[in-house]
Amino acid sequence: MGVYLFAFLFFFMALGVPIAFAMAMGLAATIHVWGGISFSMLFQQIFQGINSFTFIAVPMFILAGELMSRVGIIDDILLLCRVVMGWVPGSLANANIVASMFFAGVSGSAVADTSAIGGALIPAMVKEGYDDDFSVAVTASSSVIGPIIPPSIGMVLYGATLGTSISAMFMGGLIPGILLGLGLMIPATYLSIKRKYPRNTEKYTPKQITHAFVRAIPALLMPVIILGGILGGVCSP
């Protein structure tokens, strides 16, 4: 079976098929040839495996994160994080972590977290004097919070597959996700002091602070609306 699998895989890759599709097509062709299962039966079984109403939550969470990124709500989150964390050594690194915690409450995806937060903050961190590897490491490690703080795509898939309460898993992931974020801020601050990374010295007036909080209200309410609706029984995950 392995010979067929790799033969089909390299054949499709040689044709220029993307690797993910080449793997899927190679596996399907292998099962068809080696196992004698018809393609129609194979794809029916695949469809039945993913034919779940709960799985609709997955693209919807991704869509919510994409909408936040496109309409500029991410910028509002980053502004609030800079205002709140500006006095801490390595302020941008800590703002990166806090922003990932906020964004995790909407997208539920580490990949979406990395693309949205990293695309904005990694260039800004490098520009202000942070090392490239440190900037990327902070973004990658903090994005792991995405599937932990609810709503989480991973929890939805796990709960729908094994029949576990998704709401209970959401409640169970909230505190560990926050603690993980706070725990990441400790080494980020320590390394920022040790490597003498810049600190945000800009002084914000009460009017600017209020403005930042007001602008961030829609972003801050998104997790409350999502989790409140689910845990309050208003809507399903």
State residue 172 phi and psi, 5-degree precision. -70, -20
Is there a contact between 1 and 34 (Cβ–Cβ < 8 Å)? yes
- Residue 228 corresponds to which tokens in the numbers above? 């409140």
Segment 9-28 shows an average pLDDT of: 84
Neighbouring residues of 57: CB distance < 8 A, sequence distance ≥ 6:
151, 153, 156, 236, 237
Q: What is the mean pLDDT of the chain?
A: 80
Instruction: Evaluate whether residue 164 is within a structural domain.
Output: yes
Angle at alpha carbon of residue 77, lines to 80 and 187, rounded to 5°? 75
Q: What confidence score (pLDDT) does residue 203 get?
A: 75
Query: Do both 83 and 16 map to the same domain?
Result: no
Rounded Cα distance, 95 and 185, in Å: 9
Q: Which domain holds residue 174?
A: 54-231
Domain count, the chain: 2
Query: Do both 72 and 185 map to the same domain?
Result: yes
Query: Do both 19 and 60 map to the same domain?
Result: no
Query: Do both 85 and 106 map to the same domain?
Result: yes
Is there a contact between 216 and 135 (Cβ–Cβ < 8 Å)? no
Checking if the pLDDT of 73 tops 80, the result is no
Segment 171-177 shows an average pLDDT of: 87
Instruction: Evaluate whether residue 237 is within a structural domain.
Output: no
Domain C-terminal end among 10, 30, 51 = 51
